[in-house]
Structure 1
Amino acid sequence: MPARYDLAVGVPEELEPEPGGEVAAARQGIQSVELAMLVLQALEEGLGPLSLTQVAAAAGMTPSKAHRYLVSLGRVGLVAQSHRSGLYDLGPAMRRLGIESLRRMDEVGLASEHTPGLRDRTTHAVNLAVWGDHGPVLVRWDYGAHPLPITVRLGATMPLLSSSVGRVYLAHLPDTVTGPALEAQLAPEPVTGRIREEIARVRAEVRDRGVALTSGGLIPGLASIAAPVFGADDSLPLVVAIALPARLADPAVLERLQDELLRTTADMAVDLGAADRPGKARTAARGR
């Protein structure tokens, strides 16, 4: 039996199996569920307890309509109301859902959904790195259309100062994390004042621009541009980089690649649970 739609309430009736066939596919959604999500998003974006009036305004509803959704969401624990102040906030069931979602999250897997598209849009190689015991570790490489003067080995540890990926981690991770790895990579030479000045310069440059750029520093003839992917708690689980022949890395090309890279890392961050709010910086230059 084809799906029926109740125009009076705007909600599709439950599908029934067709005789001898499968359940009919339906593209209609449940409008009330989508409206309830507007209420939950209002509470999320409020960054704290809200009054009924504030929830209604943020969700684009009348107070009476918002109140009905708050009551229903409260009954299943997704919303809680303070007995003292009367303000509304996310409830215990929402916290449990969030914790379980984080437990199940495969950060590399989620980000990897975006790398082939970035490769196709730019035609250049794209790689993912995570922080390991001794520095950034390559965990994915998507080959581009242009031959590169490099042999790729997944699991390789990247240098902090001479690679774009390393510079992003150097700019955004604390010294207590990067310091031991940097000292081990520079051994037997000590971390001198000159090197510390270089680190300070790199950090300022990467934070200001939002990306790290290198050309020929790691491999002659290879240029790379890298950007961070921030998680829900502003952690830095991943760095994404585009690698290209240095001869192609003119300013116009680099500007285009930077725009594509930052758009992609912003999408990755949303998939990892980072808030997607207008006006919130989702690049490296977020004032960390």
Structure 2
Amino acid sequence: MAAESGSNQSVEKALGVLRVFTAGRAELRVSDVAKAAELTLSTASRLLATLETAGFVDRDPVSGLYRLGLDMVSLGGAVLNNHPVHREARQIAQNLAAELGLGANVAVRRADQLFYLLNFEGRQAPRSFVLTGQRNPLHATGLGKALLSGLTAQERRTLLPTLTPYTNRTLTSHEALDEELAKSTARGYSTEVEELAHGRACVAAAIRDSSGAVIAGLSVSGPLSAIDLQNREQALASTVIEAADSISIGLGYVGPHPIPALAVA
């Protein structure tokens, strides 16, 4: 049991080292990794050497800095290719980005954050980085609001005790969030305008599985000038809802169950 416990701790430490690389800088010194992962310098060095041998990290021979290795891409690709939402949404989102010229994004909820499963950028909304695998707050994004629409007000308060402000437009009270989500649920889509970052907006809709549960969200996003919600909101909303419904149907969703009529004596 002691040996098994020691092995488990080694695995946990190695995973902690890998997570350090997802938090910010792409290239790190051994001392940076040791500090961020709360390890001794010798332990961090040993784990990095093992991970390098396995292909999960690469070391620059000149600078000595470490970065994630290309074998991580193989793992990530396998995960995505076997995820049912990713399989159903990929082509639809790609078509959406090409048709609208905006970013098309699909995300799921991971604990108290949204997790991007895929992202395609249109010609009017280019990015210099990949969103897939990144996380964002739920309450300050259109995608997050779509995901939160599947929870009760009490579940939302338990999940998000405090609502962190990111701009002066971020919703920071649960009462305001409740009101916004009630409106979003009634019309079938949610919006976000400069609540997470200045100069950007999005329109999102929920994706449901065969049971009717909200399991993901789809959004189109881009700079304010490109998304132009003042003139395009209804058209974009219709397109996003239709695309989200197509994905939901592919996942087995057949629509809300009708309420049975009461028998009349």
Is the shorter-chain TM-score for this pair beyond 0.5, marking a shared fold? yes
Alignment of 1:1-288 (within 5 A): 106-147=84-125, 152-175=130-153, 177-183=155-161, 186=164, 195-248=173-226, 249-275=228-254
Displacement of 1:229: 0.9
> What's the TM-score once normalised by structure 2's chain length?
0.57
Kept in 2: contact 1:130–1:136 (CA 8 A): yes
C-alpha separation in 1, matches of 2:83 and 2:129: 30
Displacement of 1:180: 4.1
- Relative to structure 1, the CA distance from residue 133 to residue 255 in structure 2 (aligned partners, 3 Å threshold; closer, same or farther) is same
C-alpha separation in 2, matches of 1:204 and 1:276: 19
C-alpha separation in 2, matches of 1:206 and 1:272: 22
Residue-by-residue CA offset, 1:238-267 (whole Å, 9 max, x unaligned): 100100211231433222111111111111
**What secondary structure is seen at the aligned counterpart in 2 of 1:238?**
strand
Displacement of 1:199: 1.9
C-alpha separation in 1, matches of 2:125 and 2:85: 29
Gaps of 5+ in 1: 1-103, 188-193, 281-288
**What secondary structure is seen at the aligned counterpart in 2 of 1:158?**
strand
C-alpha separation in 2, matches of 1:263 and 1:223: 19
- Relative to structure 1, the CA distance from residue 204 to residue 231 in structure 2 (aligned partners, 3 Å threshold; closer, same or farther) is same
Residue-by-residue CA offset, 1:98-153 (whole Å, 9 max, x unaligned): xxxxxx87222112121111112211110010111232111111011114588553
C-alpha separation in 1, matches of 2:84 and 2:229: 35
Displacement of 1:212: 0.8
Kept in 2: contact 1:149–1:222 (CA 8 A): no
> What's the TM-score once normalised by structure 1's chain length?
0.53
Kept in 2: contact 1:110–1:268 (CA 8 A): yes
| % identity of equivalent residues | 16
Q: CA RMSD in A?
A: 2.7
C-alpha separation in 2, matches of 1:212 and 1:157: 19
Residue type matched to 1:206 in 2? Answer: S
**What secondary structure is seen at the aligned counterpart in 1 of 2:137?**
coil
Displacement of 1:156: 2.3
Aligned residues: 170
Displacement of 1:222: 0.4
Kept in 2: contact 1:228–1:236 (CA 8 A): yes
